[in-house]
Structure 1
Amino acid sequence: MALTAPGQPPTGDTPAEINGQLRICGTKLCNASGHPVQLRGMSTHGLQWYYQCLTTGSLNALADDWNADVMRISMYIQEDGYETDPAGFTAKVDNLIEQATARGMYAIVDWHMLDPGDPYYNLSRAKTFFTHIAQRHNAKTNLLYEIANEPSGVSWSRIKSYAEELIPVIRANDPETPVLVGTREYSSLGVSAGATESEVVNNPVNATNIAYTFHFYAASHGQEYLDALSRAADRIPMFVTEFGTQTYTGDGGNNFTRSQQYLDLMAAKKISWVNWNYSDDFRSGAVFKDGTCAANGPWTGTTSLKPAGVWVRDRIRTPDDFPTG
């Protein structure tokens, strides 16, 4: 399916067809017509564990029943991920990019570095991977590149340097796709280490068409995190590429009240968001009940959903002013 090219009038009726090539304009994510937009969608779980959950039926449901604008493709690097089979995992990402594209969704290519927390540990792998992705998919207008999932244990200046070394490698092959840069201490803007958003605001990455990521888990991350996200979004482009309604482990009880406070803030400031996660992992943050993937559904409706799944599906399906055209 041909998606809208940069600068061309929108055609079709899917999110990616209507809005075309995204770009950062000021502190917002904007569509091809220059209008600020807010993407809302889901992240996969690690492809090494839950690739079987990403079937024709489940992806159709995500696009057509959930009405998701975006799917985050979560490819772990360690933990039996990319480093064990670079060609195999790259092929999985290629396939899921095509699947999202065929359904008119945006796709976040998530370089899911987690442990170790220093993004430089995987820099050479990242250059190889993103060179391939950017060369193969640079004609697409429905992608975003998340280049460091959750940096930890390192300074913001080191994360910034990593981004400034990797982004030119991507731009050499794909000058248009927005790049999402992880922030310090598990993409908390440094809040989890007692810092504030000022370290990023006052020392931004030297690159254009980028946004910064923020992750939160509502049962663990309260007003201090909410306030930091709010202040940051007034100064720099922010994208919540991962959140849960539970604790930071992705498990435990749901705090839907706090979650709604975050969603209200993100709606008001047009901060795009992606929920963790679209699988049947046993934890409460996985939207499907145990065994759903092995049984191949049912994928539509709420029969197979845990409480968090029911809640987030309803929020993704709630009408807003996206797509704007």
Structure 2
Amino acid sequence: MSWQKSVVALAAAVVLPLTGVMAGSSVAAAPEGDFAAAALPPGSPAAVNGQLKVCGVKLCNKNGKQIQLRGMSTHGIQWYSQCVKTASLDALANDWKADVLRISMYIQEGGYESNPRKFTDMVHGYIEEATKRGLYALVDWHQLSPGDPNHNTTRAKTFFKEIAQRHKDKTNIIYDIANEPNGVTWSRVKSYAEAVIPTIRAEDPDSLVLVGTHGWSTFGLSDGRNINEVSQNKVNASNLMYTFHFYAKDHRDSYLNALRTVSSQVPVFVTEFGSQEASGDGPNDFTMANKFISFMKEAKISWTNWNFSDDHRTGAVFKSGTCSGSSFSGEGPLKDSGKWVRNHIRTADDF
């Protein structure tokens, strides 16, 4: 939770191309209206399950069946867009057999705020690429610092209004409106959510919306707050889920127990986790991570793992240098964390 605190230092140390083009792909940041709408391939996860909806505290498909989605989160697209290209996305969909791609767009840290048009167009492109492969496209408003999401309310409304207008007819779009609120009360996060969600709903009344919880999306646990605050003061919105994040080496049984508790109270989607330390680096603890995985499978809690890149940290699934090439399938290009999570995705819900 957040390893991303050190991300500004990474930005200073690593200079990567910021082109608005997915390397190795024909998808570019085209002017508004120039994207050809992709169709969902028959038999793909998003085609089979269709429009997602919350049923009780579970996620259900178009037929009302409880389901669990599993997939990957990109790294920040301002640094690692070269890892999200035709060959890697083909591997994610066909070899890994993933259901969902989380598109991680930072707001500060050299992201959206620095060039809203460029980053909005990049997200449009990634949504179409996910759709072509029958994946759910989880659009992550990766707000991190400042931790109060209200700092970005106006930006969020502008961004999500356009995304919803463009993609409202898709059944595979998921909106995540706040990544990891931190240093802020739940009531402040709730007020932000109730300001932004109507902007989405005015364009797209049906699609699933996610909102991060306080304490870096731990329902306040990492801030020493009462994890029941959310269930006692729910966001006034429909078809909504709350997000939970964990890193298994640092977040032990108390976090697993918290996840058990909150997921029995409100609908929960684990939009980010790793088997490492909260920095996204350090040793893997697959024993603890497997405890979380087993519970999420049992409770049908959907998840996306951090992260689909070749960053040097242990939490990045690809070996360093992989993204400059075109070989992403099988275990060859993968670090230990990549082999582990690929195996868990490949054995996912067959719906």
Give the TM-score normalised by structure 1.
0.95
1:23-78 deviations in whole A, cap 9, x for unaligned?
Answer: 11110111000001100000000000000111100000000000000000000000
Partner SS state of residue 16, structure 1: helix
1:242–1:273 Cα contact (<8 Å) kept: yes
By how many angstroms is 1:318 displaced?
A: 1.2
Alignment correspondent of 1:293:
323
Indicate the residue corresponding to 1:313 in structure 2.
Answer: 342
Contact 2:148–2:184 (8 Å) recurs in 1: yes
Check the 8 A contact 2:70/2:348 in 1, yes or no. Answer: no
Structure 2 residue 66 is matched with structure 1 residue 36: yes
1:94 offset after TM fit, Å?
A: 0.3
After the TM superposition, which segments of 4 or more aligned residues of structure 1 sit over 4 Å from their partners? none
Structure 2 unaligned runs (5+)?
A: 1-37
Among 229, 237, 244, which residue is 2:259 paired with?
Answer: 229
Which of residues 277, 285, 290 in structure 2 aligns to 1:255?
285
User: Is 1:110–1:148's contact at 8 Å kept on the other side of the alignment?
Assistant: yes
- 1:155 is matched with 185
2: CA distance, partners of 1:173 / 1:297: 38
Map 1:73-112; keep pairs closer than 5 Å.
73-112=103-142
Query: Partner letter of residue 285 of structure 1?
Result: G
Render the CA deviation track for 1:135-175: whole Å, top value 9, x for unaligned.
Answer: 00000000110000000011000000000010011100000
The match for 2:217 is 187
Residue 138 of structure 1, aligned match among 150, 159, 168: 168
The answer to whether the 8 Å contact 1:113/1:119 transfers is yes
Give 3-state SS (helix, strand or coil) of 1:268's partner: helix
**1:197 Cα deviation (Å)?**
2.1
Distance in 1 (CA, whole Å) between partners of 2:42 and 2:178 is: 33
Q: 1:18 corresponds to which residue?
A: 48
Please list the CA deviations of residues 175-204 of structure 1 after superposition, one character each: whole Å capped at 9, or x if unmatched: 011110100010011000112320001111
Corresponding residue for residue 279 of structure 1:
309
Q: Which residue does 1:45 correspond to in 2? A: 75
Which residue pairs with 1:7 in the alignment? none
Aligned twin of 2:84: 54
- Quote the offset at 1:286 in angstroms: 0.2
RMSD (CA atoms): 0.9
Q: Give the AA of the match of 2:264.
A: D
User: 5+ unaligned residues in a row in structure 1: which ranges?
Assistant: 4-10
Q: Quick one: distance in 2 between partners of 1:33 and 1:16?
A: 13
- The structure-2 alpha-carbon separation of the partners of 1:129 and 1:319, relative to structure 1 and needing over 3 Å to count, comes to closer
Cα distance in structure 1, aligned partners of 2:59 and 2:226:
22
Per-residue CA distance 1:69-109 (angstroms, 9 max, x = gap) = 00000000001100111000001000000000000000100
Candidates 223, 234, 244, aligned match of 2:274: 244
Give 1:115's aligned amino acid: S
Conserved in 2, the CA contact under 8 Å of 1:70 and 1:105? yes
3-state DSSP class of the match of 1:266? helix
Structure 1 residues 290 and 2: alpha-carbon distance in aligned structure 2, compared to 1, 3 A threshold: closer
Shift of 1:2: 3.7
CA deviations 1:224-262 (Å, max 9, x no partner) are 110011011111000000000000110000000000000
Aligned partners of 1:169 and 1:182: how far apart in 2?
A: 17
Tell me the equivalent position of 1:168: 198
| Correspondence for 2:57 among 27, 34, 38 | 27
- Tell me, what secondary structure is at the counterpart of 2:219? coil
Residue aligning to 1:8: none
Shift of 1:319: 4.3
Q: Which amino acid aligns with 1:308?
A: S
Deviation readout 1:119-138 (Å, 9 max, x if unpaired): 01111000000000000000
- Look up the SS of the partner of 2:78 in the other structure: helix
Give percent identity, aligned residues only: 58
